[in-house]
Chain A
């Protein structure tokens, strides 16, 4: 049998494929149903948060920051409660990262404020002396692509049944409304204004007044949501 396999390239290839594919089948598939159940209280991202998440991805924040708190005392002391699988149920893609050049951000919303983030992203060393993180000043002038964020929300709602416009916790109220693009945009602008004011930066407030949300505002909305 073995000798035959060595001389028949096609069946050899099939053999190799079976060996390498089986591991994936056994390891990954059975976990799927279990890991994707959201933890009670986890809600989908609002459009502005999702837009901020896209900014986070676009500038590859995950190249240096993890979003995964491991169950060790040293980590829970530093970052808060360890991460649970169900908390990531609406994360597409996941943003666990693989390297902590900077600290973990999974619960950064618990201990940082909007104005801290704004100052930090404008000039990291002004709030963290010795920081090697670069400034992200282009986020203060780039306008958020709200349309793509809405498109993503609508896509996951349609394709993956993510519960937008749904009463998730059974209290009779819709938890995360999505609605039409116009409705979503109006909601996002209101939310953005609140954050822009919290940052205490005139330029950001003025941009939001003009109906343009700076990327940094969306990003802060996302970071504040990480709790």
Chain B
């Protein structure tokens, strides 16, 4: 097989793969929101309410606390 042909196939299948991943992502986004696992739209508030003093939409610390609890501290 000529190198051009290999290149063509690689190219084609990689695009196919990425397209699947992309559409998989769409499914993931809507499904996880439907199931109530995550609310993506709330992240839009990050731009609107962005004072240093305003509470984060999803604080980093809380998660670390949770981790600490899990590790038994």
Residues of chain A at the chain B interface (Cβ within 8 Å): 2-3, 19, 22, 26-27, 30-31, 33-34
Contacts and interface: CB of A to CB of B under 8 A. Distances in A.
Interface string B28-68: 11001000011000000000000000000000000000000
Contacts of A22: 14
Interface of B: 3-4, 6-7, 10-11, 14, 18, 25, 28-29, 32, 37-38
Contact of A26 (B11, B25, B37, B38): B11
A225 to B, nearest CB: 31
Given A2-B25, A27-B7, 19 more contacts: A2-B28, A2-B29, A3-B28, A3-B32, A3-B37, A3-B38, A19-B18, A22-B14, A26-B7, A26-B10, A26-B11, A26-B14, A27-B11, A30-B3, A30-B4, A30-B6, A30-B7, A33-B3, A34-B3
Contacts of A2: 25, 28-29
Contacts of B7: 26-27, 30-31
A34 B3 CA distance: 9
A26 B17 CA distance: 14
Contacts of A3: 28, 32, 37-38
**Consensus secondary structure, chain B interface:** helix
Contacts of B3: 30, 33-34
Most buried by B among A22, A31, A33: A22
B24 to A, nearest CB: 8
A43 to B, nearest CB: 27
Contacts of A31: 7
A31 B29 CA distance: 38
Contacts of B29: 2
A3 B58 CA distance: 14
22 contacts: A2-B25, A2-B28, A2-B29, A3-B28, A3-B32, A3-B37, A3-B38, A19-B18, A22-B14, A26-B7, A26-B10, A26-B11, A26-B14, A27-B7, A27-B11, A30-B3, A30-B4, A30-B6, A30-B7, A31-B7, A33-B3, A34-B3
